[in-house]
Structure 1
Amino acid sequence: MTPDLRQFRYFVAVAEELSFTRAATRLMIAQQSLSQQITALERNLGVKLFERDSRGTRLTDTGALFLPEARAALARADEAVAVVARARRGEAGELSLAFLATTANHLLPPIVRAARSRLPSVSVLTTETAIGSLVDGVLDGSFDLAFTRPPQVPGLASHTIATEQVCAVLPAGHPLADRAALSLADLAGERWVMTPRSSWEPWHRAFDESFRAAGFSPQVVARDASVQGFWAWSRPGSG
């Protein structure tokens, strides 16, 4: 019969107290029950762990060898229980976080640092992806959490953590480049570079509604999914 962790705890208590009486008091059990469990442990292991005589209780050589192993086994068992408890509270395991390239520099780092500081047992895994893949990944369970943009998606809970102004990227020297603020209507005659419609249709529908409200349909000369691409297309003569 394999010894159980309770017997390990009883053995460690007796080994540390070198007294069955004190160990029983510490464990809050009857001394007779403690003696029976130690005897059962010795029988299961096939060795004698303690010597008991008129001078008291002392470990045998085998008992002395067994003591650090029993302590290690108990510590490992306690840690296993603690890991499960942390996981139950959401404080252990992995957190898969998806983000857009436009959030990588200013929004992502402080949030990841805070998560790792508050939840040191949680591995935070980050993935940069396009907005459509980001939303789909949360819906199908590939990602636990994502930093995205409006509009809201049915079936997903969302919370606003930052509000940003929309900006227009214009070539240097453009007549509108020095303006402190622009309306969408101010850009009606410009050539537009936008993300592919396939990247996330709900996002483009929101833009379409804004364009209609401003009274024009944009002249889209190129579509690019990358931030670097937008900067390249903003050169004079491109878009």
Structure 2
Amino acid sequence: MKRSHTFWALLALMGAWQALAMVIQRPILPSPVVVLGVFFAEIFGELGGHFLASLWRVTASMVISILLAAPAGLALGQSQRLNQIFAPVIYLLYPIPKVVFVPIVALFLGINDLSKIVMIFLILFFQILVLVRDQAEGIRPELVYSVRSLGAGRRALFRFVYWPASLPAVLTAVRQSIGTAVAVLYVVELVATSRGLGYYIYIHGSTFMDYSKMYAGVLAMSLLGLGLYFLADVLHRRLCPWQFIR
């Protein structure tokens, strides 16, 4: 997608927001001009601190998910026996909305950063695991045999065959999961915490009735999700250029 298209889409959304605010004319929907003013005033203060807390939680969970799910997916994809053992478990757990585990994780791990990171990790882990497993299963055997015939061991096979073939699946899974991960981040940051964008949005919208700050928090969380999505998209294009050749 061209950057100019994205710019015009953003401009259209801001225009629609401004028009709706002018029609409603109520404090519950301030204009984008007011919200942007509050956003830039707060981002270097209170809002910035909450943004960094949320960014840390999402980033940590993404890194841990990739480090654990990618090798596991490769192992399942290349071992029919392992896949037969774990496939029924994945089949049962994958479709379950992971947000239902929020109270359970909080009970076992407490109401700290670890529990929030684990919740986001659960979402990303299964997305990456399933896509990498399916991608690894599709690697052609003759490709593996040809590399082995050159004397490649397990490390060389992982580096030159399995990992390059599965990298697009990893990045695709991350891109697909970012929106859900940020949504769950909002939910987990409502539970007994005083740091994070979810807390900032809730406290200013429901307690202080400061709707301008509430919308500034919503804007910050939206930018967090968009920033991570665009980063994953850029990495996908840089690391897997062959998928974008036309």
State the TM bucket, normalised to the shorter chain: under 0.3
Larger Rg: 1
TM normalised by structure 1 equals: 0.23
Comparing both chains, which one has the higher relative contact order based on Cα–Cα distances under 8 Å and sequence gaps of 6 or more? 2
Structure 1 or 2: more helix by fraction: 2
Structure 1 or 2: more strand by fraction: 1
